[in-house]
Structures are given as structure tokens and as C-alpha cells.
Chains A and B, each alone.
Chain A
Amino acid sequence: MTRRARRARAAALLLALVTAACGRYANVAQKLDVTARVAGDTWIARGADPTELRVLLIGTPDPDGSAPFSFSSIVVATSAGQSVVTLQGTWTEAGNAGTTVLHVQHEYSYPDESGESILTRTGTTRTDAQYTLEVTATRTAGQLVVAGDAGLSGTYVPLVRALGRLATATPSDAAACAFQIANVGTLRSEGRILGFGGPQIQQYSQAATYAGTVAGSLTISFSGGATSSVVTTTIDYSGFEDVGGVQVDGAMVTDANWGGTGHMYGVLSFTLAPVAADGAPGTPITGTIDYGGGGDSTKWIQIVGGNPVGGVYRVAIDGGGGTAEVPCAAPPSPSVPDCLALP
């Protein structure tokens, strides 16, 4: 490329950044990470739509009966995921009738903006306006039935017990399911990283750390200036556990131009830790997810206009437990509810 062409491209990029750079206004003095750890149970349920998955973490109640909670509604129409809404706050069950008050302190939104230009996207946002929800939560044997709010209702089961039912019809299914389960945690994390998916990701030229809801943390960083042909976003997971019983480690890297076209690479290792109904820990399932197609550039996750459009997640369960190539742009197969035999 000639110097003149490089200058023209840099000018065009700067113009694009200036004219459509930052989505909505940020909040003044907004903390990036406000996650309160939830030491307790992780529950999972089907959503109202076949592509929706609901995850509910409820911590240990304090003497007043108030427990920290985190809830996510995740739409996984394709394996790459589409949108995430997360609530954080306190969960208070009153009396024996199951009446429960949720005091929501933070609401996150990672919307499906696949139809918009990368530079006009909002990405993940958080509002700290507090409000309350009232639901009925009924605990039966191995289940938590939530009713009274269309957005949260469902028949939830403990995730760590459901992991023991991981679909193992074929080794390939087991590996594909392992990816889908691990992906629940990574999608939830992306749904809490402010600016993720939009131009405000530039914020992370100064790296930032987010806590895992259960354990560990992630560090997100961004490199590359306005005149760079490639900018790099790295999410480095360290003992990251955002849903109980599912831990990921390693770096997920995206190289793309300012138009959001590029590819992903990096390898995450995962550990799924099932627990039997009697509380006995099961045999952990460990393995890896390779975003870079195992070095095969025809298979790495391809990003066009900010959307994953091709390539596969190469999944391998350690100890010969099975391998799979999960297409990023195709619907999950098997889906998480099928993998975990959710009611």
C-alpha cells in the first residue's frame, strides 16, 4: 500500500471514528466492575423461547434473609450467542409461601446489534437505577420453580447436578455440549464488560479486570490506534467461574480492522465439575476450546462487520473424551437444554 493510500485510509478511519464513534453516552464516573460474588447455587432453566437460556445464581442468605443474586437471560440462536441481559442485586425470600423480592441494583444489556455497523453499536451497557421485582419461588426436590415474572419464570435445576447428565450419546456430542456449557460463562462475561461489542471497547487500551461471579477474574485489553490496520481485543480468563461448576482459563483474542472484520484465535481450557444429587463431587470434565481453528486459517472464527460469520470452535475433551468442531454461525446442536436434559 502506498503512503498516500495509507494516509487516505487513516483519514477515512479517523473520520469514521469522529462521526460515529462511541454509541450512547457513558455514565459519568461509572465503575466498570461492580460484581458482587455469589457464593451459593447456580440454577439453570429453559427460557420462554427455544433459543433462550436462563441462569440464576443465589448466594447464601445473611441473617436478614437477604442473599446476593445474579440472573441472566441468554439468547443463543447461534453458537456464538446473540444477546445477554443480566440483573444483579439481592434476593429475599419472605415466609413459607415463596414470596420473594428481588432488589435489582444493576441491569446489564448486551443487545443483538448484528444488523448495525460496528461503529454505531452500543455494546454492553449497565444501568444502576435500582428497582424491585416480586416473584414466587418454590423449592421442590432438586428444582426451583420461579413464577410471577415473565422474564424470570421457569423451572430451574442446579447446574452442577445437570452437568452429571451431560449428553454423552456420542463423544462428539459430549464435546459439543462441553463447549455450549463453557460458553454460558463466557457469554455472561461478555454481557458484563461495558462497551463490549461496540466502539467503546477502545476504553480497554487501559486494561481492566472483571471479577467472576463465583470465582476468578478476567482481564480485557485493547491495542491498536486509529491509524492501525488491525486492532486487537484480548480477554484473558484466569480461574474464571461465572456460573458454578464451570471454570475457564486462557486467552480469547480477536484481531479485526476498524470495520470489525478479522478473526479470532486463542485457546481456552475448561473444567466442568459435576456434583451428584447426594452432594458427592463427580469426575471433572476438562478440555480445550480453540478459537483459531487449530492453526488452520480456513477454520478460525471469522468476523465480518463485527459478526461471527464462519469458522468453527474446535473442542477437545481431555483423555480422549471426544472432539467436535462447532460452527459458530449455526444454531447450537445439541442445545444447552438438550445437553443438560433440562425440564
Chain B
Amino acid sequence: MNPLLLAIALAALTPVDSAAPGPADAPPASPSVDDSPAATARIPIPEGVGPASPGGDVRQPDLSQAGIDHHGWRHALALGPHSTTFFSREGSQYTFYSASLGYLGSVGARGAFLHAFLLMPLQARQDGHVYATGDYYRTRSGADLMAGPEWRFSFRGAEAEVGPGVHATFVYLPAKQGFADFSAMPLGLGATTVLSWETRAERLSRAVTVGTYAGLAYDFWDPMHAGDLAHGFTFRIGAIVGLGERR
């Protein structure tokens, strides 16, 4: 089984909210959250966590292990492959494989997410024929957007974020001399998930996270092509590096 799916499934079994923190969380937060350094220093240190003082038994808090705020903002850069395939009412199947660079943002344990990607279509297929897009198109560009509500779950130091959303892919390929331009904008509904782990690193006063993401969408309308889209699917997966607000 895909480890990502396994992790998501396990995480889904252990929903976490402010009243019942998961294992990845630091000990229960005070009902009134105080973000001041002093408050951070008051966080009890779990057994075995943090370096021991060389001269004695006083342990210093390790901020990198203090945990990120389960309700806070997440910002991440994403990199990975992107695939969209769709069928026209004329009976053709089009498939585009792209490299994607994206932004994944979300807020709240029960909040909202926005995933936005820039695409560089590398290979196109139509009805069994395969084309290297660089041979035919002078600019290879595209975008992928998904936005919707999200839920966060924690499990053994990992945090999973899942949610349904509205989806749009845009492929724009202005052609080289002598060839026809291509464009498509399939829209639909989908779902996405992000699985991340906190690292010991810290940037911009936030915990650095690493992880992976995956998304799947069913597309059924292309406003640019006057109803020529029968239906299609978009799938994306990749790795992320992000920042999470500390608790």
C-alpha cells in the first residue's frame, strides 16, 4: 500500500482538535493561548526531549520540538509531476504531463486551503500519439488551482490535511511557426491531501516542515471550449517544504 495513503488513513482515524491533541502535539495548551516568548518557555518538555544541561539536570526547552500550532497557518512550496487527461465530445483523448511548482496554503484545524501551481507541460498525448511539447510550442505554460475547506489530523509526529475543493487546470501552448495553438481549461471538483512532518529547523520564526501532497480532480466543464469537454481527470503529487506557525 502506498505509504502516503496508509499514513492518511491512520491519521484519519485519530482526529485531533483543541480538546484532544494527538501524539505529535506538545502537551495540552493553555486555554488562553499566549504566543509570547515567556509563554513558549513555560511549555513543559516531554521526557527525553531536548538537550540535557552539561552541568546538571536542568533541561532547556528545544523550540524545534515545541510543536506547531495545529490551528495556525501553513505555507509550503511544492514540486512534483502533474497530469491531466480529458476527453472531448469529438471523441479525442488529450493527456498532458507537466512539471509543477506550487504554493500550498491553509489555515485552521477545520479551515480552508488554497493550492496553486504553475505548470510546464512537457509531454502531450492525443489518441495514442505522443508529442514532446518543446518540439511544437514556443511557450509551455499552465496553472492548476484548487481551493476548499480542509481538516487536519495528527498521528505519530505527522500531520495530515485533507479536503475537497473546486478545481481548475489551465493549459496554454502557443505554437511555433507553422503549428496550431492549443489551450484548455477544464474545471471540476476534487480532493487533496497534504502530509507533513515538523523538522528541527526554523525559519522566519516558524517551524520548517517537509512532506508530500496528492490531489485528484474530476473535471466536467471547460468554459473556453464551448462545451467540447466530455470529462477528464487531473492528478498531482509531489514533495513540499513549508513553514508552520508554532503554538
A25/B181 in contact, CB under 8 A? no
Residue ID in chain B nearest A27 by CB atoms = B126
- Given known pairs A30-B179, A31-B178, A32-B178, the reply for A25 and B136 (CB within 8 Å) is no
B88 to chain A, nearest CB (A): 5
A74 to B177 Cα, complex, angstroms: 29
B15 to chain A, nearest CB (A): 40
A194/B180 in contact, CB under 8 A? yes
A36 to chain B, nearest CB (A): 15
Mark interface residues in A27-46 (1 if CB within 8 Å of B CB, else 0): 11111110000000000000
B18 within 8 A of A: no
A25/B90 in contact, CB under 8 A? yes
A28/B90 in contact, CB under 8 A? no
B225 within 8 A of A: yes
B103 within 8 A of A: no
- Given known pairs A25-B90, A29-B136, the reply for A203 and B225 (CB within 8 Å) is no
Cβ contacts under 8 Å, A21 to chain B: 224
A23/B228 in contact, CB under 8 A? yes
B195 to chain A, nearest CB (A): 34
Contact residue among B92, B178, B223 (Cβ-Cβ distance under 8 Å from A19): B223
Q: In the complex, which range does the number of interface residues on chain B fall in? A: 20 to 34
A203 to B175 Cα, complex, angstroms: 8
B226/A20 in contact, CB under 8 A? yes
B174/A22 in contact, CB under 8 A? no
B94 within 8 A of A: yes
A120 within 8 A of B: yes
Q: Which of A20, A29, A194, A208 has the most CB of B within 10 A?
A: A29
Contact residue among A22, A28, A194, A208 (Cβ-Cβ distance under 8 Å from B126): A28
B120 within 8 A of A: no
Contact residue among A18, A20, A23, A27 (Cβ-Cβ distance under 8 Å from B180): A27
A68 to B179 Cα, complex, angstroms: 23
B231 within 8 A of A: no
Q: Which positions 98-127 of chain B face chain A at CB distance < 8 Å?
A: 124-126
Residue ID in chain B nearest A119 by CB atoms = B226
A26/B181 in contact, CB under 8 A? yes
A172 within 8 A of B: no
A140 within 8 A of B: no
